[in-house]
Amino acid sequence: MASILVTGCAGFIGSHLAERLLHDGHRVVGLDNFDPFYDRAHKLANVAACLAHPRFSFHEADLRHGLDALVDALPADPIDVVVHLAAKAGVGPSVREPIAYLENNVIGTTHLLEWMRQRQIGKLFFASSSSVYGNTKEQPFREEMNLVAACISPYAASKLAGEQLTYTYHHLYGLDVLNARFFTVYGPRQRPDLAIHKFVRLMRAGEAIPVFGDGTTARDYTFVLDTVDGIARGVDYLLTHTGVYDTLNLGNNRPVALLELIHAIGEAVEQEPRLAFQPMQAGDVDVTYADIQKAQQLLGYAPQTTLAEGLRQFVQWLDQDLMRHS
Residue 200 lies in a domain: no
Phi, psi of 10 (to 5 degrees): -90, 0
Crossing angle of the two packed helices 12-23 and 224-240, in degrees rounded to 10: 50
Contacts of 206 (CB under 8 A, 6+ apart): none
Contacts of 164 (CB under 8 A, 6+ apart): none
Residue 96 lies in a domain: yes
Does the pLDDT of residue 322 top 90, yes or no?
no
Residue-number span of the structural domain to which 149 is assigned: 3-183+224-251+289-304
- Whether omega for the bond prior to residue 279 falls within 30 degrees of 0, making it cis, is no
Residues serving a catalytic function are 155
Confidence of residue 325 (pLDDT cuts 50, 70, 90): low
Residue 309 lies in a domain: no
| Cα-based distances in Å from 156 to 130, 148, 182 | 8, 12, 12
What is the SS3 assignment for 124? strand
Average pLDDT taken over every residue of the chain: 95
Q: What is the pLDDT of residue 326?
A: 64
CATH number of the domain residue 88 falls in: 3.40.50.720
Residue 279 lies in a domain: no
Among candidates 270, 262, 231, 250, which has minimal Cα distance to 21? Answer: 231
**How far is it, in rounded angstroms, from Cα 246 to Cα 144?**
10
Residue 267 lies in a domain: no
Number of domains in the chain: 1
Q: What percent of the chain has pLDDT over 70?
A: 99
**How far is it, in rounded angstroms, from Cα 72 to Cα 10?**
19
Does the pLDDT of residue 182 top 90, yes or no?
yes
Residue 193 lies in a domain: no
